[in-house]
Amino acid sequence: MAASSELILVLNAGSSSWKYALFRAASSGWTRLVHGLAEGIGTRTECRIKEVTSEGKKVHNIPLPDHRAALRRVLDLLPSKDDIRSVGHRVVHGGESFTSATLINKDVLKAVREASMLAPLHNPWNILGIEVSKELFGEECPQVAVFDTAFHQSMPPHAYMYALPYDLYKKHHIRKYGFHGTSYVYVSEEASRVLGKPIEELNIIACHMGNGASMCAIKNGRCVDTTMGMTPLDGLVMGTRCGEMDPAIPMYLTEHLGYSMKEVNDMLNKKSGLLGLCGCSDNRDVEHEYCKGTPLGKLAKEVQIYRTRKYLGAFMVALDGRVDALVFTGGIGEHSHLFRTLVCQGLGSLGLELDEEANHIKDGDFNENIRLDTKRHSTQIWVIPTDEELCIAQQTQARVTNAIPTVNVE
């Protein structure tokens, strides 16, 4: 922790938005001064900045012609903006070059640009955000990249390799990378704190369940497997993404049903998952249909739950059968008692037994760490709300103060 107070800005640039948060780091702890969203960038309508401060929520309807103008507007609204000492950027894909948060220089930016081939929907906007931020803050303000993929770089080759010709990996880096890594860093460290054990001694299965969803097997504090793959499309059933499927399906769609590859890609990313199965992408709507007994709503929920439970079993094996904690996080993991019930149902013989009374406290909608198992088994079940913005701020400060080792970019 910093010896004196300093401000750290966290930025997450999207195609038409800036998400941001401002933290004060001091010896007494971390304080989130403001967080918000500038949206509708580059559009003629729906341009606004929504922010939350200690004084409550505010909405500013102002023109945001481009990312540069939007960030300037955001900075104008920030308290004590001249005291910002460093900026942390969320970067979706770091390829194999980065295993931790990294100070941004020309070589790092080049590597992030090269990784854009693996994340074309995200990395180009992350790069633009970095460039605009460096322009506005100047070279004297350290800029740090925090990668969604970094935490998963500890996976062994048998977990991240695909059974494809080896040259595709050596020449083109085609392999599993995994995502939501910053969230897993945060919840695993919180799990260590609430369980009262060093993270190096813990085996955890973490479920980051939101519109995008993944799971991670964490052995002695290090990722050994995760559900997402080379892209965030693989693995679990998500709001609009298909997750795991037979890789021959796209070829069948193009050769026999007349789809273009662009249409297939759009379908798998934006029209599949829960939306494709029942017409609803929001888990709350799906659960409403499930509870009503609507056939497609019931089917969508059952497919989602089955896929989650299948990976839960696989990850128990990946952890050699010893699981200290099952952690639910993300919008669904934190707020849906039904999801947690269905995932854990009937797994007492595997050491997973949910306390349903605790699971329904506050209608099962939790904004704080809470233990939910019956305490009859060695595996604890927790809801731990994630805080990726805080984690990025902490990693940014650690990098700037050299508290984490420098990573060489190959």
Just list the catalytic residues: 148
Determine whether the annotation assigns residue 367 to a binding site. Answer: no
Give me 377's structure tokens.
Answer: 């088994």
Long-range contacts of 283-287 (CB under 8 A, 24+ apart): 283/211, 283/239, 283/331, 283/332, 283/336, 283/339, 284/336, 287/336, 287/338, 287/339
Determine whether the annotation assigns residue 276 to a binding site. Answer: no
Q: Which amino acid is at 378?
A: S
Q: Which amino acid is at 396?
A: T
Encode 38-57: b = buried (16+ Cβ within 10 Å), e = exposed.
Answer: bbbbeeeeebbbebebeeee
Determine whether the annotation assigns residue 181 to a binding site. Answer: no
Q: Which amino acid is at 207?
A: C
Determine whether the annotation assigns residue 208 to a binding site. Answer: yes
Distance CA 67, CA 369 (A): 36
Determine whether the annotation assigns residue 261 to a binding site. Answer: no
| Positive or negative torsion for Cα 59, 61, 62, 68 | positive
User: How many CA atoms does the CB half-sphere of 36 hold within 13 Å?
Assistant: 25
Distance CA 169, CA 163 (A): 10
- The SS3 of residue 25 is strand
DSSP state of 151: G
Determine whether the annotation assigns residue 333 to a binding site. Answer: yes
DSSP annotation string for 263-274: HHHHHHHHS-HH
Start-to-end C-alpha separation, the chain:
31
Distance CA 231, CA 30 (A): 33
Determine whether the annotation assigns residue 210 to a binding site. Answer: yes
User: How many CA atoms does the CB half-sphere of 356 hold within 13 Å?
Assistant: 8
Distance CA 222, CA 200 (A): 8
Determine whether the annotation assigns residue 209 to a binding site. Answer: yes
**How far are the Cα atoms of 173, 221, 300, 340, 399 from residue 182, in angstroms, in the given order?**
22, 13, 28, 22, 15
Determine whether the annotation assigns residue 332 to a binding site. Answer: yes
Residues in the chain: 410
User: How many CA atoms does the CB half-sphere of 272 hold within 13 Å?
Assistant: 21
Distance CA 327, CA 371 (A): 9
Determine whether the annotation assigns residue 19 to a binding site. Answer: yes
Determine whether the annotation assigns residue 24 to a binding site. Answer: no
Distance CA 324, CA 201 (A): 9
Determine whether the annotation assigns residue 282 to a binding site. Answer: yes
Determine whether the annotation assigns residue 212 to a binding site. Answer: yes
Determine whether the annotation assigns residue 377 to a binding site. Answer: no
Question: Binding site for ATP: what residues are annotated?
Answer: 19, 208-212, 282-284, 331-335
Question: Binding site for substrate: what residues are annotated?
Answer: 90
Question: Binding site for Mg(2+): what residues are annotated?
Answer: 12, 388
Question: Binding site: what residues are annotated?
Answer: 12, 19, 90, 208-212, 282-284, 331-335, 388
